[in-house]
Amino acid sequence: MRSVMTASDRRDVVRNRSAILDATISLLDDGETPTAGAVAWRAGVARATVYRHYPTIAALVTEAEETRASQVRRPAADAPSPAPLDIPALLDRVAPPQLPEQIVGEAQRYSRARAVALYLVDIGGTRLLRAAGSLEFPEEMVVRLAAGPEIPAEGIEALHEAVSATLPSVTIAPMVVRGRATGALLALDAQDAGLLQEMARHAGIALAMSEPFSDVIAASRRRKETTAAAETQQLCLPPRLARLSGLRLAGDVLPAYENGGNWFDHAENQDGAWIAAVDTLGSGARAAATSAVALGALRAARTVGSTPRDAIQHMDAAIRSIGGDEVRCSAFVARWHATTSTLFWVAAGDLHPVLADAEGRLTTLRDHALPQLATDPLPETIPTSHRVVRPDERILLLSDGVSGLDGAPLSAAALRELARRSRGASPARTLSLIQGAIRDAGGEDLDDDAMIVVLAPAKGTP
């Protein structure tokens, strides 16, 4: 018996094809390669949906290039219909604590679903936590796909599979902001799945904009009580997944609910993309405070046009100013030159970059040796190292809580095997493999922060 396509089905088909084409054009505009996974992620559809509309990626790219070349400014009468969520109006009329429930209500109304729930990724990156919506949905679901509270592009299919295994009848709409998902809308019996996907994209932006004004969203990302040190560390951490000019980055710090002495940071300025990391001696509130002071010094130096060498000096002076014999840390400050694919850096202490080549072989790039910050005086002339990074290479930044100390979860041999297994993988996938091995070896209880940052020249989504 042949199934009959309803009017809603036909609208979904048209909407999905348009979203796929728009996503491909967006990737081309960003200078990225439109792979099936990248297109599916930006369009908010499954990879199989892309192939249902286009038999090959080449055919899709051809149509996208033709459409892009022929696009002209459309008259107002042909302008697209308003977005389901008017974000400025929503933020003006809804108090931040009520925003998650308001989004659920609007999503249910527009998609004509029987029930809707809003889920956020917890800060540990292992679960989806229900932040609002129907109690018919579970309070949490185990989904080990994320870098901290963010799911990368290649995790979208696994997200669908993981949620569908628990809730086979729901429609899943990831909330994507700048190429990574921070949560998802889940709907039961949604009559307009395409509109739900569009709602989810706008909802992610609205939640990101409102988060600084309330603790509700932050609390919804935590499945257990944190320490003062851990909260300080969370405030220091940037988005875990980033697309910078000519560079993809993925990073995280484990465990999310304890310790607190490490951070990494990134920013894209006129002088290039900055990447930095700190591994502070010890744990707890004192280590977190030291790290926070170091981050403040870095950002103060960065905003006045300083070099990585200047930044290291500012960080050293700031840490010395708070005193104490045990206040010390290793640091890495770098600047990425996109046109030459070159990384320039200064490293103090034991935090040196590790090169993973095309075969997965690891080499520590220890060109110059500086003392840990706040120990021996830094030399008057601080040397800068540099390295051209090939498209098939990755740079790893690993704290001693990952490997190198007695009791660290990964041995040097285990780390080499992970690098070999992940050769050719994206930064997000490489990070996921290392984090998975750390969790398998040490569980949730780690003696020291395990910080992992993975960098690679841009050739797709992070």
pLDDT tens digits for 253-271? 988 777 778 999 999 998 8
- Per-position b or e across 208-243, b if 16+ CB within 10 A of its CB: ebbbeeeebbbebbbeeebbebbbbbbebbbbbbbb
Res 192 pLDDT > 60: yes
Where on the phi/psi map is residue 284: left (φ > 0), alpha (ψ -120 to 50), or beta?
Answer: left
Distance, in Å, from the CA atom of 68 to the CA atom of 26, rounded to the nearest integer, reads: 10
pLDDT tens digits for 116-160? 999 999 998 889 999 999 999 999 998 887 888 999 988 888 888
Distance, in Å, from the CA atom of 406 to the CA atom of 317, rounded to the nearest integer, reads: 30
> Which pLDDT value is given to residue 324?
62
Q: How many CB atoms lie within 10 A of CB 320?
A: 15
Q: Is the separation of the CB atoms in 17 and 444 below 8 Å?
A: no
Res 78 pLDDT > 50: no
Nearest CA among 183, 194, 189 for reference residue 169: 189
Residue whose token pair is 């000019």: 245
Tokens of 14: 């048209």
**Domains of the chain from N-terminus onward:** 7-78 (1.10.357.10), 87-220 (3.30.450.40), 228-457 (3.60.40.10)
Q: Is the separation of the CB atoms in 22 and 30 below 8 Å?
A: no
- How far CA 328 is from CA of 269, 321, 332, in Å, comes to 28, 12, 14
Average pLDDT rounded to a whole number, residues 218-233: 88
Q: Is the separation of the CB atoms in 23 and 16 below 8 Å?
A: no
Tokens of 349: 């202490």
pLDDT tens digits for 285-318? 888 999 999 999 999 999 998 999 999 999 999 9
Res 237 pLDDT > 50: yes
Half-sphere exposure of 334 toward its Cβ, with a 13 Å CA cutoff? 29
Nearest CA among 184, 179, 316, 296 for reference residue 235: 296
Rounded to two decimals, the pTM is: 0.81
Average pLDDT rounded to a whole number, residues 429-447: 84
